[in-house]
């Protein structure tokens, strides 16, 4: 029984192994999320959460859970997300805005947290524009291309009047995110992401593609602009990934992105906390930089007209 904020939590089976190779236990996972809660929560607050659970460790098949389980305590906040496809249906997501929820879920063997680019009260007005750079493999040359792409899209977003932020995905690539002021509809945001991604692919077709077709990709970095859609999700900042080494999706400064030794799995459950002791969260306060997508679209049109 531990106290987390206002809540008392019963932890169970803390010695159970979650990451066999590294002997990382469920207790280690709980400790990790407890310790990063202060920096992580601002990125989860008021967003429908989707969770990836591994009840027998990451070596066994896990599952994705979008609806809050019936037996979760009543103090865990829930939020309805209506299905766009089927009228009348909705999922009932957990909303994680206190440390106790994060710790409770970790004890439930939730390893990875996925969030939407929208908040619960405005499900069709995104406050995040997302670019997901997914390389064909985890090799060094692939990551070099991912880095070039992130820098290029960052520059493009600045030219459009937005303020981009970057993080490792913890898997193979990088995520670039720009905060929005929620004045534009999700379909407009998606259209912007598509056009900007296509521009990037057109400027450097040897490195980038927006084609979903596997045959068309041929070793190039895939720009997944569909991340900006209704009920789409992205891995949350400081979330652990269910991969060997327990890599963590970690916010970076743009200067850090230039470091030649950096890769998508540089930061892990083992070393992120030390990093956070030395520097503040590079994404802290990102909402103060929220920009207008309509303004950005006009600027992007001007850039396209010149090109």
Partner DNA sequence: GTCGGAG
Partner DNA sequence: CTCCGACAACGCATC
Partner DNA sequence: GATGCG
Q: Cα(22)–Cα(60) distance, rounded to whole angstroms?
A: 15
By CB under 7 A, residue 91 contacts DNA: yes
Backbone angles phi, psi at 92, to 5 degrees: -120, 90
Q: Cα(305)–Cα(93) distance, rounded to whole angstroms?
A: 42
Structure tokens at 259: 């470091």
Contact with DNA (CB under 7 A): which of 188, 230, 256, 289? 230
Work out how close the CB of 30 gets to DNA at its nearest, in angstroms, rounded to a whole number.
Answer: 10
Burial (Cβ within 10 Å: 0-12, 13-18, ≥19) of residue 305: exposed
By CB under 7 A, residue 109 contacts DNA: yes
Work out how close the CB of 229 gets to DNA at its nearest, in angstroms, rounded to a whole number.
Answer: 4
By CB under 7 A, residue 67 contacts DNA: yes
- CB nearer to DNA: pick between 67 and 141: 67
Q: Cα(297)–Cα(185) distance, rounded to whole angstroms?
A: 13
Structure tokens at 215: 């045959």
Distances (CA, A) of 53 to 59, 61, 90, 96, 112: 12, 9, 21, 16, 7
Q: Cα(90)–Cα(45) distance, rounded to whole angstroms?
A: 20
Work out how close the CB of 136 gets to DNA at its nearest, in angstroms, rounded to a whole number.
Answer: 9
Binding string to DNA for residues 22 to 51, with x set by CB under 7 A, is what? ----x-----------------------x-
- Tell me which stretch binds DNA (CB under 7 A): 84-92, 95-103, 244-252, 257-265: 84-92
Contact with DNA (CB under 7 A): which of 2, 38, 212, 302? 212
- CB nearer to DNA: pick between 88 and 260: 88
Hey, which residues does 90 pair with through a beta bridge?
82
Contact with DNA (CB under 7 A): which of 4, 76, 195, 226? 226
Size of the site for DNA (CB under 7 A): 37
Q: How many CA atoms lie within 13 A of 256 on its CB side?
A: 18
By CB under 7 A, residue 185 contacts DNA: no
Q: Cα(211)–Cα(112) distance, rounded to whole angstroms?
A: 27
Work out how close the CB of 262 gets to DNA at its nearest, in angstroms, rounded to a whole number.
Answer: 21
User: How does strand 208-209 pair with strand 221-223?
Assistant: parallel
By CB under 7 A, residue 16 contacts DNA: yes
Q: Report whether 221 contacts 208 (CB < 8 A).
A: yes
Structure tokens at 205: 């077709």
Work out how close the CB of 149 gets to DNA at its nearest, in angstroms, rounded to a whole number.
Answer: 14
By CB under 7 A, residue 122 contacts DNA: no
Q: Cα(249)–Cα(33) distance, rounded to whole angstroms?
A: 13
CA 184 to chain CA centroid, Å, is 21
Q: Cα(161)–Cα(172) distance, rounded to whole angstroms?
A: 28
Binding string to DNA for residues 239 to 268, with x set by CB under 7 A, is what? ------------------------------
- CB nearer to DNA: pick between 48 and 164: 48
By CB under 7 A, residue 87 contacts DNA: no
Contact with DNA (CB under 7 A): which of 28, 98, 127, 134? 134
Provide the binding-site residues for DNA, judged by CB under 7 A.
12-13, 16, 26, 50, 55, 63-67, 69-71, 83-86, 91, 107-109, 132, 134, 211-216, 222, 224, 226, 229-232
């Amino acid at each position: 029984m531990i106290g987390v904020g206002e809540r008392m939590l019963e932890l169970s089976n803390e010695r159970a192994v979650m990451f066999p190779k590294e002997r990382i236990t469920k207790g280690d996972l709980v400790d990790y999320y407890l310790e990063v809660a202060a920096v992580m929560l601002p990125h989860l607050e008021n967003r429908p959460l989707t969770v990836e659970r591994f009840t027998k460790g990451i070596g066994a098949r896990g599952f994705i859970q979008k609806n809050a389980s019936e037996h979760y305590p009543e103090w865990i906040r829930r939020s309805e997300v209506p299905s766009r496809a089927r009228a009348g249906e909705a999922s009932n997501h957990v909303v994680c805005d206190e440390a106790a929820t994060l710790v409770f879920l970790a004890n439930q063997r939730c390893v990875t947290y996925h969030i939407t680019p929208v908040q619960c009260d405005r499900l069709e007005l995104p406050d995040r524009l997302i670019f997901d750079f997914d390389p064909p493999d985890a090799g060094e040359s692939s990551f070099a291309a991912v880095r070039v792409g992130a820098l290029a899209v960052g520059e493009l977003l600045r030219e459009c009047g937005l303020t981009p932020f970057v993080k490792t995905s913890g898997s193979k690539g990088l995520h670039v995110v720009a905060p929005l002021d929620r004045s534009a509809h999700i379909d407009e945001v998606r259209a912007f992401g598509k056009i900007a991604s296509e521009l990037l692919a057109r400027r450097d077709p040897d490195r980038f593609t927006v084609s979903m077709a596997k045959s068309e990709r041929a070793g190039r970095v895939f720009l997944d602009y569909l991340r900006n859609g209704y009920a789409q999700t992205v891995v949350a900042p400081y979330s652990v990934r269910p991969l060997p080494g327990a890599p963590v999706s970690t916010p970076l400064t743009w200067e850090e992105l230039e470091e030649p030794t950096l890769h998508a799995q540089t930061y892990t459950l083992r070393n992120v906390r030390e990093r956070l002791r030395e520097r503040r969260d590079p994404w802290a306060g990102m909402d103060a930089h929220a920009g207008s997508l309509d303004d950005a679209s006009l600027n992007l049109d001007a850039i396209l007209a010149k090109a």
